[in-house]
Amino acid sequence: MDSFEFNKIAAAVLVVALLVIGLNQIADSIYRVKKPETQGYKIEGVAETKSTAKGEIKKEEKLADIKVLLATANVGAGENVFKKCAACHTNVSGGASKIGPPMWGIVGKKSGSHPEFKYSSALAAHGKAWSVEELNAFLYKPADYIKGTKMAFAGIAKDEERANLIAYLSTLK
Ligand code: HEC
Q: How far apart (Å, rounded) are the C-alpha atoms in residues 74 and 133?
A: 17
Q: What's the full length of the chain, in residues?
A: 173
- At 9-33, the pLDDT tens digits run 788 878 888 788 777 776 676 666 5
Q: How far apart (Å, rounded) are the C-alpha atoms in residues 142 and 123?
A: 10
Q: How far apart (Å, rounded) are the C-alpha atoms in residues 153 and 141?
A: 8
pLDDT at 47: 41
Task: Count Cβ atoms below 10 Å from residue 47 Cβ, excluding itself.
Answer: 11
pLDDT at 96: 97
- Residues having CB closer than 6 A to ligand 1 are 84-85, 87-89, 99-101, 106, 111-112, 114, 119-120, 122-123, 130, 135, 139, 149-153, 156, 165
* Residue of 79, 84, 89, 136 to mutate, ligand 1, most atoms within 8 A of C-beta: 89
Residue 89 CA, ligand 1 centroid: distance in Å: 7
Residue 32 CA, ligand 1 centroid: distance in Å: 54
Task: Count Cβ atoms below 10 Å from residue 84 Cβ, excluding itself.
Answer: 15
- The set of long-range contacts for 156-162, using a CB threshold of 8 Å and a minimum separation of 24, is 156/81, 156/84, 157/62, 159/62, 159/63, 159/64, 159/69, 160/69, 160/73, 161/77, 161/81, 162/66, 162/69, 162/136
pLDDT at 34: 54
Backbone angles phi, psi at 2, to 5 degrees: -60, -45
Under-70 pLDDT residues of the chain: 1, 26-27, 29-62
pLDDT at 43: 45
pLDDT at 33: 54
